[in-house]
Amino acid sequence: MERIKIAALFADGERLDGQSVTVCGWARTIRDMKTFGFIELNDGSCFRNLQVVMDAEALENYAEIAGQNVGAALVKVICPDKNGTPADVVLGFDEGEAYLENVSFFGCVIGPNANRIADASFCLDGCTYKLDANNGKNNLHSHKEKGWHKRLWKAEVHENDESVTFYLEDGDGSLGFPGNKKAAVTYSLDSENALKLHYHADSDFLVLYIK
C-alpha cells in the first residue's frame, strides 16, 4: 500500500479535493488519470473505480514499485524519465494471470538454480543429482513449469520502510535438488527512491544455489 498526494479525486462524478489516499490495488493507471482498482481515503472510507489526478510536485518526485506473489515477480518500477515524466521501466505484463505463463521469465525469481546446468545433472559432496533436461540435454532455470518463477510465494508488506518481502519453502528433492530450502526476496524503495533488491536463501542440507 502507498500513500500519495493528489490534486483531484473523482468518485461517481463527485470531485473530492485535498484528500490523502492509500492505494490498495493495482495502480499502474494513476499516471494516466484513468480508472483503477481500489483506494482508501484518509477518513477510512473505501472506494472502487476512482479517478485520480496527482499534483505536479508529487508527480515530479514520484516513484513506485509493485510485486506479486506468482514467482515473487517485480511487475512494475515507476520513476521519472529524462523529462521528469513517470514511466514504467520494467518489462512485464499488464495482467497478473500472464505471469502464470511467462515463458520469458519477466521480473520473477528463478530457482533453485538460474541459468544452465550441463547434462542436467550435478555432483555435490560425492552424490550425483539428476534434473529435468529441458534445454536439449541440459537443464535451464531448474524447471520451466515447476520452478520458483511459477510458484506462489507468501508476501509480507512492510509499510514503515516501504518494502515487501516474498517467502517460499521448497522441500527436499523438489525438482531434483537436495535439502529443505527457504528463500526470501525483499523489494524496497529508500528515501531517495532508489530500488533495492535483497535475496536470502537457506537450507538444512548442502545445496546448490546459483542466481
Percentage, residues of the chain above pLDDT 70: 67
Model confidence at 21: pLDDT above 70: no
The number of beta carbons lying within 10 Å of the beta carbon of residue 55 is 12
Taking the model in full, what pTM does it have?
A: 0.70
Q: Please state the domain extents for the chain.
A: 2-60, 64-203
Q: From start to end of the chain, where are the E strands? A: 2-11, 14-15, 20-23, 35-41, 46-54, 64-68, 73-80, 86-88, 116-117, 121-124, 127-130, 139-140, 154-158, 163-170, 181-189, 195-203
pLDDT score of 23: 46
pLDDT score of 131: 96
Percentage, residues of the chain above pLDDT 90: 36
Band of pLDDT at residue 4, cut at 50, 70 and 90: very low
Degrees, nearest 5: CA angle 100-102-104: 165
The model's pLDDT over 127-173, given as tens digits with 9 standing for 90+, comes to 999 999 999 999 999 999 999 999 999 988 886 667 889 999 999 99
161 vs 69 pLDDT, higher one:
69
pLDDT score of 83: 74
Band of pLDDT at residue 35, cut at 50, 70 and 90: very low
Work out whether strand 35-41 and strand 20-23 pair parallel, antiparallel, or are unpaired. antiparallel
Asked if residues 119 and 137 have their Cβ atoms less than 8 Å apart, the reply is: yes
The model's pLDDT over 88-131, given as tens digits with 9 standing for 90+, comes to 888 888 777 788 888 899 999 999 999 999 999 999 889 999 99
Phi-psi region of 176 (alpha: psi -120 to 50; beta: other; left: phi over 0): left
Question: Was domain 64-203 assigned CATH 3.40.50.10740?
Answer: no
pLDDT score of 93: 85
3-state secondary structure of 87: strand
Band of pLDDT at residue 58, cut at 50, 70 and 90: low
149: buried, middle or exposed (CB in 10 Å: 19+, 13-18, 0-12)?
buried
pLDDT score of 197: 93
